[in-house]
Amino acid sequence: MKEFFLKNDADAPLSARLFPRRFEDFAGQRHLLSDGKMLRRVIEADKMSSAIFYGPPGCGKTALAKFLSLIHI
């Protein structure tokens, strides 16, 4: 499954090609993911044990959860 989200070739689905690979690739959520912000500090310090993301559809909850699962493998 990891390979699906990290594809970057022309045959990959658009969602896979646009999937964020760095914190800077996320659109929005700067109040949480910018340098020095709370969630980014916790993630970079590898101190996150669990999280519950909530918000309206399309705000990036699933994308952030999948991104976090991939960087901590």
Domain boundary assignment for the chain: 2-71
Runs of H (alpha helix) within the chain: 2-6, 14-17, 30-33, 38-44, 61-71
Q: What is the pLDDT of residue 12?
A: 86
Give, in order, the Cα–Cα distances in Å from 9 to each of 2, 17, 35.
15, 7, 29
Task: Give 24's DSSP letter.
Answer: G
Rounded to an integer, what distance in angstroms lies between the CA atom of residue 18 and that of residue 62? Answer: 14
Q: Which fold has domain 2-71?
A: Rossmann fold (3.40.50)
Rounded to an integer, what distance in angstroms lies between the CA atom of residue 47 and that of residue 14? Answer: 32
pLDDT in tens, the chain (73 residues): 455 555 456 788 988 888 888 888 888 788 888 899 988 899 889 888 888 999 999 888 998 898 888 876 5
Q: What is the pLDDT of residue 52?
A: 92
